[in-house]
Amino acid sequence: MSLFPKAPKYTAAYSALIDSIGVDKKDIEYKFDGAACLTNICMFDMCIPGSFVFALDQSTKALNLVETLNSEKVHEVCSVLPPTSCRYFVFQRSFTRAMRHRVAVHVVAWLPQQAEVRERVLYKRQIKDLCAQLRRVDHKFEIYN
């Protein structure tokens, strides 16, 4: 699982990921919450509800957006994921710690035991590349095991 805390808006890495998958900007709800940024990273005033589910094309190793969910709850996202094939899902969570509002972006590899071994190995390798892409956008991105 990967996460990094940021200011109370969507982080630059998450926004770059949204831009790279081609989400229509008309679907984005623009808002301004007036909170000060906690870092020097460029933040965006966009709020996209929910989570993104990605599938990996095994021949080209490219990420394809499979589904956009309007839920921020992990158990609702897990109920949509297929039991026999691997997926990535990315979601953003807001929380308050030590009187500060934080935002964490989670990148999760869904690797069920019923999936093919080759597919699980490919997804396990490619999550490092996905995290490296996010780290290029935001240098404070960290991976927690």
Report pTM: 0.56
Cβ atoms of 114 and 84 within 8 Å: the answer is yes
Among candidate residues 53, 51, 63, 52, the one with its CA nearest the CA of residue 122: 63
pLDDT tens per residue, range 47-102: 445 678 888 888 887 778 888 887 666 677 778 888 899 988 877 777 777 778 77
How many other CB atoms sit within 10 Å of the CB of residue 53? 21
Q: Look over the chain and give the mean of its residue pLDDT values, rounded to a whole number.
A: 65
> Which pLDDT score, from 0 to 100, does residue 53 have?
84
> Which pLDDT score, from 0 to 100, does residue 103 have?
73
pLDDT tens per residue, range 110-145: 888 899 999 988 888 888 777 776 666 654 554 443
Structure letter (DSSP) for residue 37: P
Rounded-to-integer distance, Cα 115 and Cα 136, Å: 30
Residues 6+ apart with CB under 8 A from 113: none
Rounded-to-integer distance, Cα 8 and Cα 38, Å: 8
Q: Is the pLDDT of residue 21 over 60?
A: no
Structural domains in the chain, CATH included, are 49-143 (3.40.20.10)
Sign of the alpha-carbon dihedral angle for 58, 137, 90, 71? negative
* Assigned token pair, 103: 């935002």
pLDDT tens per residue, range 82-95: 889 998 887 777 77
Rounded-to-integer distance, Cα 82 and Cα 60, Å: 21
